[in-house]
Amino acid sequence: MVVLSKGELEQIALPAVQRAAPPLAAVTEVDLSTATAAGGGAGRKAAARAVARACEEHGFFKVTGHGVPAPLLARVEAAAAAFFALAQQDKDKAGSTLGYASKRIGCNGDLGFVEYLLLGVNAAGAAAQPAEASRCCLREVLDEYIAAVRRMTCTVLELMAEGLGLDDAGVFARLVLDGDSDSMLRVNHYPPRPEEAPKHGSHSRLTGFGEHTDPQIISVLRSNAVSGLEISLRDGTWVAVPSDAASFFVNVGDALQVLTNGRFRSVRHRVMVSSARPRVSVIFFGGPPPRERLAPLPGLVDREGGRRRYREFTWREYKTSAYRTKLADNRLGYFETAAAALA
Ligand SMILES: C=C1C[C@]23C[C@@]1(O)CC[C@H]2[C@@]12CC[C@H](O)[C@@](C)(C(=O)O1)[C@H]2[C@@H]3C(=O)O
Ligand SMILES: O=C(O)CCC(=O)C(=O)O
Ligand SMILES: [Fe+2]
């Protein structure tokens, strides 16, 4: 259970006057079954175009027909719910092997009304944790989930490359499939919000996970049927994403914004807690190997008359710099070139 002191509550409560964000009018939906069907050349082209358009416009879209079995999704959800229902001392004990933490996000003072597990994902697609944890049922089901979601993620990354018209359709997927890929899995649990005396006739909204962009190439999110995720549109307005437990949501991350020379946008998002029901979300963050040199792809730079918006850096360098920032900071500013500033 996430217990907040008065000071912490004040830090994550948005003012009572702030109304709930309006729902996102239309989220692009990409049906992967049409993109992967045998003889589905036209379907694949259409899906690739839709993916690229969504990544340019919002950096966000929904995936249906994903092929991750519904019983596996149900098992992950049940195992996560069972873990978070444990007594606090048992969750704290498991913390060392499953990366459990509560309220504190990162190490620079960010707080949220959330508890979570955060696991590194190794080359085989399994959560990289000590062997003694391997008998735990949650670990086993998460390993199975990671393998299935990583496969689907690579299909989505191929569609992104095809939608950009790149000759090498595997250019993004290879980074996530690399044996040293720095990928992660996060399981977030947002407890029902605590009872609070209404101020000025309405409740304030609690920040579950403060606004940020994800650092990696791609984030693939699934939640139970409880909403709370909001994305920021290009004009800065926030919109709520209606939950859909049967689908996945894809976020463009900062690394993909760099590789595409800013053509795909890493989406700013947050989670607000206002429901009487707990939200459980599971996010696979597909990242490159630490040694990987990231820079805008030459083909995409050429299309912009040679204007290169980001300098080259390694993923290790980016991560070191990212972990010094606060959640809401713009982590790409440090890597921008003068050309980006002019744009
Ligand atoms: C405040 C922070 C938490 C974070 C690392 C950071 O310094 C800035 C990025 C944050 C983020 C957002 C997306 C993922 O949830 C995450 C695991 C990641 O890779 O970057 C978190 C980091 C975290 O919770 O440690
Ligand atoms: O829990 C969610 O729905 C999103 C959380 C998130 O953005 C993150 O963990 O990076
Ligand atoms: Fe995120």
Asked if the model's pLDDT at residue 254 lies above 50, the reply is yes
- How many Å lie between the centroid of ligand 3 and the Cα of residue 319? 15
Higher pLDDT, 66 or 94: 66
pTM over 0.90: yes
CA distance 154 to 19: 38
Closest C-alpha to ligand 1, atom 23: 106
**How many alpha carbons fall within 13 Å on the CB side of residue 53?**
10
Q: pLDDT digits over 169-185, tens only?
A: 999 999 999 999 999 99
Residue 97: per-residue pLDDT: 83
- How many Å lie between the centroid of ligand 3 and the Cα of residue 130? 26
Kindly state the average pLDDT of the residues 135-155. Answer: 91
CA distance 230 to 223: 13
Asked if the model's pLDDT at residue 202 lies above 60, the reply is no
Q: pLDDT digits over 33-61, tens only?
A: 998 766 568 999 999 999 999 999 999 99
Question: What three-state secondary structure class fits 295?
Answer: coil
Residue 203: per-residue pLDDT: 61
CA distance 334 to 318: 9
Asked if the model's pLDDT at residue 342 lies above 90, the reply is no
Pocket test for ligand 1, best of 104, 184, 214 (most atoms within 8 A of CB): 214
CA distance 142 to 126: 8
Q: Residue 161: which of 297, 336, 32, 27 has the closest Cα?
A: 297
Pair 171, 213: CB distance under 8 Å: no
The pocket around ligand 1, CB under 6 angstroms, is made up of 105-106, 108, 110, 118, 184, 186, 212, 214-215, 285, 322-323, 325-327
Proximal ligand: closest to the CA of 114: 2
CA distance 279 to 227: 7
Residues 6+ apart with CB under 8 A from 116: 99, 100, 101, 102, 186, 187, 188, 189
Asked if the model's pLDDT at residue 126 lies above 90, the reply is no
Asked if the model's pLDDT at residue 124 lies above 90, the reply is no
Share of the chain above pLDDT 90, in %: 77
Asked if the model's pLDDT at residue 196 lies above 80, the reply is no
Q: pLDDT digits over 278-334, tens only?
A: 999 999 999 999 999 999 999 999 999 999 999 999 999 999 999 999 999 999 999
Kindly state the average pLDDT of the residues 259-272. Answer: 98
Asked if the model's pLDDT at residue 15 lies above 60, the reply is no
CA distance 138 to 117: 11
N-to-C CA span, the chain:
46
CB contact burial 64-75 (16+ within 10 A = b; e otherwise): eebebeeeebeb
Question: What three-state secondary structure class fits 14?
Answer: strand
CA distance 291 to 317: 9
